[in-house]
Amino acid sequence: EERSEEQHSNTVLHMAAKHGHGELVSTIIELRPSLIFSRNAYGNTPLHLAALLGDVNIVMNMLEFGLEACSARNNDNQTPLHLACRSISMEAARRIAEKTRS
């Protein structure tokens, strides 16, 4: 698993999610679904970064493969839902909340 020290130990999936590259996220998840649960130096999963970005399509794609990632807490004790609430898109927060209720 490739990690970059310059990028705070982000995996390629972290970077694709952080920068909103939805098609690349889909490809990476198909090839390495376990990366959904990987954590960077701050304890963030790729879902944390997608939620903070507010990219609903990436968030929903990740939730299809790794619903358990919704409950992951980073080093600041924040879940992806916490970060989605801080994003510019409340739709991402709504989708995560819906998935965690079911």
Q: What is the distance between the alpha carbons of residues 21 and 50, in angstroms, rounded to a whole number? A: 10
| CATH top class, domain 5-101 | mainly alpha
pLDDT at 67: 76
Closest CA to 34 of 5, 50, 13, 6: 13
Instruction: Count Cβ atoms below 10 Å from residue 33 Cβ, excluding itself.
Output: 13
Contact 47, 17 (CB under 8 A): yes
pLDDT at 68: 83
Q: What is the pLDDT of residues 62-90, one digit of tens each?
A: 998 877 888 899 999 999 999 999 888 89
Q: Find residue 10's DSSP bridge partners.
A: 4
Closest CA to 59 of 72, 71, 44, 49: 49
Contact 29, 58 (CB under 8 A): no
Q: What is the pLDDT of residues 35-59, one digit of tens each?
A: 999 999 999 999 999 999 999 999 9
